[in-house]
Structure 1
Amino acid sequence: METIDQIYIKVLYNGKNITADVSKSLMSLGYTDHMSEADTLDITLEDSQGKWQSEWYPEKGATITAQIGILGAEVLDCGIFEIDEIELYGSPDAVNIRCIAAGFKQGQKRTLKSHVHEKKTLSQIVHTIAADLGLKVIGSISNITVERLVQQKKGNLTTLKKLASRYGYTFNVRDQNLIFIKNEELEGKQAVAYFDKTDLISFSLTDRTFGTYSSASIRFHNPEAGSIIEYKTSEGGLPNADDILHLEQSVDSIEQAQQMTKSALREANKMQQSGNISLPGSVVLISGNIISLHRLGRLSGDYLIKSASHTLSSTSGWLVDAEIYKVGGKEELEKQTERNTPKKIKKTAASKF
């Protein structure tokens, strides 16, 4: 485990490098990287001299850019944030600067809007909203037709998040990029690193049946067409589950019903084998990456990182708490011997998504 002396940090405030001042006062830095929510950054500073609460007091809305890593090794670019909240507490005096990813804070992205999309593909809708936000779309999006989508006094980001959930995509905003990637694409990637059970500081993994489903169905009466659309699927269902997931949503076509039903079933079942792990800090431990865990019996295998909370402190160095879920669905029992431990995959940094 790295000590604080081995940790690399770089902090820019409105483009100005304030790393030296931050380092002198740093008690802890916390960066939480989410797949489908806004990333956050917390910087806690010792302030016995009162500088951070007076002449160095940060401006709400100012930008913070941060990088973390190990001296002489790979660096993790946390991205650009806007200061959302400043907290002073004591004693002794300390100031916490709480920031949120800039892509979620900028004004036009939060403005409530009304718009009607008619006879557009899902890809066209996403690209239209992205253009309105001034963002570049990252990801391959389906050309499935959406007959009508009404955005009634809702933020663009809220609308995009709803579309992503409905059609089985991961959605996020990172800097000037709008991420819209199919979940199966993320879950089908190769593992970027291997971790043995002994590499973990702690772990808690659960194999559950509650809240999982064998199949999913939808039935919707379309009043305009005067017809009933029905669809049922077991693709993505679990053989050891008894319940059926019944969707209560409006659909325009059987194609739409198929995609929405399959996506809902996969989403409901993906946390069947899931949990949390704690590890020493690493640049590969970021949301959207696949890591391979071994010597955990039937719960060994590949896991996707749903979120990762990086904490750098003067007492513990760099630690990561990650929320993960298993991908691939394999339940092969490993032989619990050192002789059968697979070779480690080279741990290399990977870009987010």
Structure 2
Amino acid sequence: MSNPRKKYLSVVYNGVEIWKDLSVYIESFSYEDSVDESDSISISLSDRDLKWSRTWLPEKGDKISPSIILENWNYEGEKMTVMCGAFLVDDFSFSCPPFSCSINGVSAPVDTGFKETQNTKTWEAATVRLIASEIAEKYGLELVYESEDIQVAKTEQDNQPDSDFLKSLCERYGLGMKIYSHRLVIWDLKQYFDKPPVLTIVPEMVSKWSYNSTMQGTYTGVKVSYTNPNNSQTVEIMVGTEERLYKTSQKADNEADARRIGESILRNANRKERTMKLTIPPKMSLYATANVQLSGFGNLDGKYFIERISHSLSDRAYDMQVSLSFISRDSDQKGNAAKTDVSSKEVNNYTVQKGDSLWSLAKLFYGDGTRCREIYEANQQIIEAEAKRRGRANSNNGYWVYPGLTLLIP
């Protein structure tokens, strides 16, 4: 006789395993694994014995570490565990009739000052990694940093909680940030978009799905300004194209900084351009920040980024609601094709395409956008001539380059 499927929780509360005491009262459990927000949990309990409202009364700041455990789910003898992380109780409530209790927790350091205490500090000649490292050490967190070391000439924290300040700094440079199991994790969104899918999802695996496509709040280009240190003039650059243009008030340190900020703004805004929500049975290989491949959905097929996963567990069912954003097929193909062309043959000439800039070409051919000056100097005469033919006084040092122009790549 085969063993039946089992699903249950392991709950450590203030360092004590309480599942045996908890199991007879629990009605439902949910766990939110998110990219842009703190992870959270919610436990709904029957309080028919009035234990939770009396002797077991929770306190804000109590520590909860839950895990979801599945046995014999796909085959007999199998045991899978989802470790949800470490959480602090930040909200609880009671109601009747019937007597019930709801306990909600959020992922955060043990020291709640991370999200509440306002601080003021100025960093000069620092890096994002250094700033994150100082803040992590302050709250006893292990820093996991998965990005290049980004230089920051000067940044000010002005009466902000450390969590808000660090999150805004990460968003400025296209980085994600979250607290998970006493770790401060920071990663490069673009690098994560480039990772291979962890799972291919087909319609037969899905019990419910919805799709949305919108232009609202999405952009094709962004303008960012910085001050030229040589003449103190404000220089404004554009990343992308002008069809739907966003102009940010953020000030960059230099051109490279401005390019990164612009790319980050576009990437974050356009994550909501094409989205899907799926309800599926539990798949332990899925987590927020991973990529999946959708197949069999017709024109909706493609590579998607997992923005959020909601685990919903009750006596009757265990489902996962997965929120996805589409990873541009065009940008992937263009990037892959460009890499193939550059690596497979010697490239001496390039014809400018719509949306190209000297920065993007330097990044393509050299892997470093700051070398755009080399391309400009090698083609200065034809770039300036074309700018004048188009009615401009000059090209603004190569800012204006036009489709159809053939450039020498030195």
TM-score tier, shorter chain, comes to: 0.7 to 0.9
1:248-296 superposed Cα distances (whole Å, 9 cap, x missing partner): 2112211111110111111111222113111122223321121222111
Q: Distance in 2 between matches of 1:210 and 1:83?
A: 36
Match of 1:231 in 2: 237
Counterpart pick for 2:178 among 167, 172, 180: 172
Moved more, 53-62 or 93-102: 53-62
| Offset at residue 79 of structure 1 (A) | 0.7
Does residue 276 of structure 2 align to residue 257 of structure 1?
no
Q: Give SS of 1:218's match.
A: strand
Match of 2:119 in 1: 113
Q: Distance in 1 between matches of 2:306 and 2:174?
A: 17
Q: Distance in 1 between matches of 2:216 and 2:110?
A: 34
In structure 2, the CA distance between the partners of 1:260 and 1:108, relative to structure 1 (3 Å rule), is: closer
What amino acid does structure 1 have at the position aligned with 2:33?
D
| Offset at residue 244 of structure 1 (A) | 1.6
TM-score, normalised relative to structure 1: 0.84
| 1:2-17 matches, cutoff 5 A | 6-17=6-17
Q: Distance in 1 between matches of 2:205 and 2:295?
A: 10
| Offset at residue 109 of structure 1 (A) | 5.1
| Offset at residue 197 of structure 1 (A) | 0.9
Question: Which is helix-richer, 1 or 2?
Answer: 2
CA contact (8 A) 2:110 2:139 kept: no
Q: Distance in 2 between matches of 1:172 and 1:225?
A: 40
What amino acid does structure 2 have at the position aligned with 1:295?
G
In structure 2, the CA distance between the partners of 1:165 and 1:189, relative to structure 1 (3 Å rule), is: same
CA contact (8 A) 1:217 1:247 kept: yes
| Offset at residue 222 of structure 1 (A) | 6.8
Question: Where do 5+ consecutive residues of structure 1 fail to align?
Answer: 332-353
What amino acid does structure 1 have at the position aligned with 2:137?
A
Match of 2:29 in 1: 29
1:174-227 superposed Cα distances (whole Å, 9 cap, x missing partner): 132111100011111121122211211111112233332222222345799621
Moved more, 103-112 or 131-140: 103-112
RMSD: 2.3
Question: Which is strand-richer, 1 or 2?
Answer: 1
CA contact (8 A) 1:69 1:76 kept: yes
What amino acid does structure 1 have at the position aligned with 2:90?
D
In structure 2, the CA distance between the partners of 1:18 and 1:144, relative to structure 1 (3 Å rule), is: closer
| 1:1-353 matches, cutoff 5 A | 6-71=6-71, 72-103=78-109, 106-108=112-114, 110-220=116-226, 226-234=232-240, 242-315=243-316, 317-329=317-329
Q: How many residues align?
A: 322
Q: Give SS of 2:90's match.
A: strand
What amino acid does structure 2 have at the position aligned with 1:57?
L
Question: Where do 5+ consecutive residues of structure 2 fail to align?
Answer: 72-77, 332-410
What amino acid does structure 2 have at the position aligned with 1:24?
V
In structure 2, the CA distance between the partners of 1:55 and 1:125, relative to structure 1 (3 Å rule), is: closer
| Offset at residue 33 of structure 1 (A) | 1.0
1:60-84 superposed Cα distances (whole Å, 9 cap, x missing partner): 2211110003113321000111111
Q: Distance in 2 between matches of 1:227 and 1:143?
A: 28
| Offset at residue 328 of structure 1 (A) | 4.2
In structure 2, the CA distance between the partners of 1:36 and 1:103, relative to structure 1 (3 Å rule), is: farther
Q: Distance in 2 between matches of 1:227 and 1:328?
A: 36
TM-score, normalised relative to structure 2: 0.73
Q: Distance in 1 between matches of 2:323 and 2:110?
A: 22
CA contact (8 A) 1:45 1:95 kept: yes
CA contact (8 A) 1:273 1:299 kept: no
